[in-house]
Amino acid sequence: MAKPKNAISPTRSENFPEWYQQVVRNADLAENSETRGCMVIKPWGFAIWEAIQRDLDDRFKATGHENAYFPLLIPLSYLEKEAEHAEGFATECAVVTHHRLETIKDENGKTKMIPKGKLAEPYVIRPTSETIIGAAFSRWVESYRDLPLLINQWANVMRWEMRPRLFLRTAEFLWQEGHTAHETKEEAVVETKMIHQLYSDTLRDLLAIPVVMGEKTEAERFPGAEMTFTIEAMVQDKKAIQAGTSHYLGQKFAKAQDISFVDRDNKEQHVHTTSWGVSTRLVGTLIMAHSDDDGLVLPPRVAPQQIIIVPVTPKPESYDAIIDACQSLATRLREQSYGGEHLRVKVDDRDLGGGIKKWEWVKKGVPLRVEIGPRDLEERKVCLQRRDQAPNQKSFLDKEDFLRDVVDTLDEVHQSLLEKARTLRDQNIAESADLAAFESHWSTEDPGWLLTPWAGTREEEEELSKKHKITVRCLPLDKQEEAEVPCVLTGKPTKARALWGRSY
């Protein structure tokens, strides 16, 4: 069957940014809101976020973290206590200055509403919660016996965005933010690195996305942090997405918020804090990493429906028997588990043509599509189509064999997506120690990433970044003990390696 007229257009190669928007629209994931820069996340898109949330929440709780909730509005004075941190978000902050509205009539008799009741102190809609959570920690901690504090919050934040793109950059987005307080630097750094690894594992195991784990340079660190660790994902146009970060904040925030405790020697000390988070940007990363010119492609563990069963009923007299067979198959499938959850299965018995149904579920990224028609019913077979394969590729399987192997099949889909993404990434990371080659690399279309020896200053890094519209994505952790060679820019001997790329 030919693709419908509303198949994804343009293709990835024709116009990647517009292709992305069309995948989001055709999969019915989200839409732009009347509130500028904000989005409405529709049920299919929100179900993907919920799957990410469930997985992460289980991982956090398994490592001793507890969920809490803190205010959306942060007193401006709290941000002023940590100037370096606040400055990093200042241009993105939305500020509440009044606490009520009053109605008036204009000269044409039209009712208008105007702000009244100016606040004595403005509130900032949280861009992140270090300051207000720090204030709570200062009340909760008195002794070393109160430590560590391991807190996570699922919330929304607002960072004013001038060039929004659904899921990737919106003024309001959803995320989790972890905040912890520790007795020693060593414990806090262990926490920071543990979460860094947890994020990497989640992207690999849940989203089938391989990442590069690394540390941010001084120029790219989270405002106020002493160390920022990142996971960097390559998407199909070879740009980078910062998919998650974990920060060791040292004692700066603790001193600003007076989070102190009496230590084991009966001396007063300030705690060492961390913060870390991922957001709905992961949904955008997922789309760009796996989807194709037919629409969304979902790894099984985050698919809102993992298996769609489509009855094929060309003759009215076979309708009831085929529907019963489909429902019976769905019931047996739901008794099985994958990734610690029962299989999510839907029978699509809507009064629509089979071709319309097929392409809807193709574009929504469902991992497995199963058709049962009169011949399949008679022969006790099913027609299986996998989303990681060509849309018209079919396998006719004995029904019992399909039921026996379905979990393995889902895992094969996951592994094939992971391997495809890993191959793309590895084939598009070049290495260079030559400045001329470095310069020419960025003149090509979709240049990919470049790994170089690096011993430059923050100013030199920023100058190169501005010139070529790139950034140091990270200093990869597995590349920092290489042989000492000259820096690509300064010629100074260095063991450090920097990974450069263009990003979203």
Domains of the chain: 16-97+127-290 (3.30.930.10), 300-416 (3.40.50.800), 429-501 (3.30.110.30)
What pLDDT does residue 68 have?
Answer: 98
What are 170-221's pLDDT values in tens digits?
999 999 999 999 999 999 999 999 999 999 999 999 999 999 999 999 999 9
pLDDT higher than threshold 50 for residue 89: yes
Q: How many residues does the chain have?
A: 504
Of 80-94, 205-219, 357-371, 482-496, the poorest mean pLDDT is in 80-94
pLDDT higher than threshold 80 for residue 6: no
What are 367-420's pLDDT values in tens digits?
999 999 999 999 999 999 999 999 999 999 999 999 999 999 999 999 999 999
Cα 3 to Cα 7, 287, 396: the distances in Å are 6, 21, 22
Inter-residue contact 494 to 485 (CB < 8 Å): yes
Does the reported pTM lie above 0.85? yes
pLDDT higher than threshold 80 for residue 283: yes
More confident residue, 417 or 224: 417
- Six-digit token pair at 110? 């039209």
**16-26 vs 281-290: helix axis angle to the nearest 10?**
110
Q: Which of 175, 157, 182, 315 is nearest to 250 (CA)?
A: 182
Of 111-120, 295-304, 361-370, 475-484, the poorest mean pLDDT is in 475-484
In this structure, the number of other CB atoms found within 10 A of the CB of residue 192 comes to 27
Torsion of CA 243, 154, 147, 270, to 10 degrees: 70
Residue 5 banded pLDDT, cuts 50, 70, 90? low
